[in-house]
Amino acid sequence: MSDTKKIKMVATDIDGTILKWDFGFTPEVKECIKNLSAGGVKVVLVTGRMHKAATFLADELGLTTPIVSYQGGMIKENKENGEVFYRKDLDSERAKEIIKWAKENNIHINLYMDDVLYVEKDDETIKKYTDARYIEYTVCPFENLDIKNVNKILAIKYGDAEAVTGWVNYLSKKYPELYIVKSTPYFCEISNNEAKKSCAVQYLCKKWGIKKEEVLTIGDQNNDIELLKAGGIKVAMGNGTPELKECADFITDTVDNNGFVKAVNKFCS
């Protein structure tokens, strides 16, 4: 394991890692991130969220580093008309096939194109998804859209984790060239194979001249397995999935008990 005094980047997931399930930050997390930034450590938010759904959180934390969104499908500056450093979209033809599969099986999907969220029905699923995240969305039949520049597709079934696991297994087998993963028990993410958290963190390391052993990565869900791979110190939250914990060097406390802060205090101070 690397020298704990030489961490130059903390790459962190948002939901369930630094953001509690009531969608709030603890004062301790805010103070911790403020101190890291003041000490010259680059704190990077690495999330499955769309870019627009992460910017206000970065602002609340006082972060000016680029945001990694869409599982690693985009790296973009956190400012108006910010520069896009990295972008890996979902193939348009594959996106059309997955839209067709979802429609045939009556599966709700969020379609993200050019950082705009589209849905076909203004139903309880999209209301539950967007309410706490403060996201705007557009209701439109997908056949009326020009399917291109697709950031990702998100299939959702609240309350039925088993069904979502089935989708991941089916789609992964059918489309081995894509990146398909659960980001919560009820979310199946479908993306470009290079839209991974690991790819994005590696890109930023190269851009900033930071070595892998100088990076602490931390998350809680299976989509964070790729994130942890990019770190010299790999931390799983106490509320993390069993699969993620297997990949970790260290398992910290839960998000409700400031597990992020405890990990940073252990490895970055």
Q: What's the helix, strand, coil split of the chain in %, to 5?
A: 40, 25, 35
Residue 212 structure tokens: 């892998």
Write the pLDDT tens digit of every residue in 36-57: 999 999 999 999 999 999 999 9
Given a contact cutoff of 8 angstroms between Cβ atoms, the answer to whether 205 and 216 are in contact is no
Rounded Cα distance, 31 and 49, in Å:
23
Residue 206: is it exposed, middle or buried by C-beta count within 10 angstroms (0-12/13-18/19+)?
A: exposed
**C-alpha closest to that of 92 among 150, 168, 145:** 150
Question: In this predicted structure, what is the pLDDT of residue 80?
Answer: 83
List the 215-219 sheet strands across, edge first. Answer: 42-45, 9-12, 215-219, 233-236, 250-251
> Which pair of structure tokens corresponds to residue 6?
């030489």
- Residue 189 pLDDT > 50, yes or no? yes
Q: What is the pLDDT at residue 81? A: 87
Summarize pLDDT for 84-107 with one digit per residue, the tens: 999 999 999 999 999 999 999 999
Q: What confidence score (pLDDT) does residue 1 get?
A: 38
C-alpha to C-alpha distances, 97 to 37, 101, 141, 179, nearest whole angstrom: 43, 6, 15, 15
160-170 CB burial, b ≥16 within 10 A, e <16: eeeebeebbee
pLDDT at 3 over 50: no
Rounded Cα gap, residues 49 and 232, in angstroms: 24
Cα–Cα nearest to 85, from 259, 206, 240, 174: 206
Alpha-carbon distance 65 to 71, whole Å? 17
Mean pLDDT of the residues in the chain: 95
Residues 197 and 147: their CA atoms lie apart, in Å, by 24
Q: Which residue has the tokens 């209701």?
A: 139
> Per residue in 226-258, pLDDT tens?
999 999 999 999 999 999 999 999 999 999 999
The pair of structure tokens assigned to 71 is: 């599982």
Main-chain phi, psi angles of 244, to 5 degrees: -70, -40
CA distance 230 to 232: 7
